[in-house]
Amino acid sequence: MKNDKKVLFIMIVGFICIVVTPFIFTKYGFGIDFTTENSNNIGGTIGGITAPIVGLLGAILVYFALKEQVTANYLIQKQLDEQKASDDENKIVTYLKKQLQIIETDINNLHYTIKSKTTADGIHPEKIHTGSDAVRKYLLVLKNNNRDCDDMSLFTELYQIDSIKHLLTLIELFVNSLSNEDISDKDKHYLSVEIGYHYITKIKSQFDIFEEWKSTNLPQCSHCNKYHKGIPEEFYDLIYNINQGLNL
């Protein structure tokens, strides 16, 4: 709008100059003979007077046109950059939502099976605990199990104990991504609330119950001075990192 006013002003001034200056020069002569015999001088004089004005006006208008084009190009590039940033953010949010679904599925897929005594019919009834109940059962196993030096048989036999550790690692990576990725505060809040719900209600609550049975709270092994009893410290290290990331 500001440039439009400048252009209009210049065009008005230029028009006035084109109309007035030939009149002034031909009226007063300024040493030029405009008699009938030399009437051809009039056209040449008017053309010579107005040509520089017209040229200057054209140059000024081209300058403003180019300036507006540069501004328009800048705005277009800015819109493209904003669109690209928005697309990149949407890709990140979509990826994080898929990770959230994986975490939720992994929690629900955790299971712990209890076999009851054989019935008279020779059947072994099974009771399967899933989700947070399974987490509690595995932590109870770790609490009551005294492992020998470098004995990994328990983790081999009950492989889902390691699955719980890998699940905690996945949650930790997800929480770190929320802090490091360039996404909107609204999306961060939504994803934090979602992961917080699954983590707090299904995992953290169970680890809180057994915190006094953390391995470093129990006596060391008399043979190697390591901690074999209770729940491994690495589990609670992951819990601590996730709590820090979620401000719990």
Tell me if 205 is assigned to some domain.
Answer: yes
Range of the domain at 18: 2-84
Question: Using a CB cutoff of 8 Å and minimum separation of 24, what contacts does 9-17 make?
Answer: 10/57, 10/60, 10/61, 11/57, 11/61, 14/53, 14/54, 14/56, 14/57, 17/53
pLDDT digit string (tens) for 32-73?
555 445 545 555 655 666 667 667 677 777 777 787 788 888
Query: Which is nearest to 57 in space by CA: 1, 23, 18?
Result: 18
pLDDT digit string (tens) for 186-204?
889 999 999 999 999 999 9
Write the Ramachandran bin of 182: left for phi over 0, alpha for psi from -120 to 50, otherwise beta: beta
pTM: 0.64
Q: Residue with structure tokens 């092994």? A: 221
In this structure, the answer to whether residues 142 and 202 fall within a common structural domain is: yes
pLDDT grade for 152, boundaries at 50, 70 and 90: low
Among residues of the chain, what percentage have pLDDT more than 90?
A: 20
Q: How far apart are CA 160 and CA 232, in angstroms?
A: 14
93: helix, coil or strand? helix
Query: Which is nearest to 57 in space by CA: 6, 108, 23, 114?
Result: 6
Number of domains in the chain: 2
- Show the beta-strand stretches assigned E in the chain: 111-115, 126-130
Tell me if 105 is assigned to some domain.
Answer: no
In this structure, the answer to whether residues 216 and 141 fall within a common structural domain is: yes
In this structure, the answer to whether residues 55 and 134 fall within a common structural domain is: no
In this structure, the answer to whether residues 68 and 185 fall within a common structural domain is: no
In this structure, the answer to whether residues 169 and 217 fall within a common structural domain is: yes
In this structure, the answer to whether residues 155 and 231 fall within a common structural domain is: yes
Tell me if 55 is assigned to some domain.
Answer: yes
Q: Which of 98-107, 115-124, 168-177 has the lowest mean pLDDT?
A: 115-124
In sign, the C-alpha dihedral spanning 81, 85, 87, 88 is positive
pLDDT, greater one: 53 or 107: 107
Q: Are 232 and 210 in contact (CB under 8 A)?
A: no
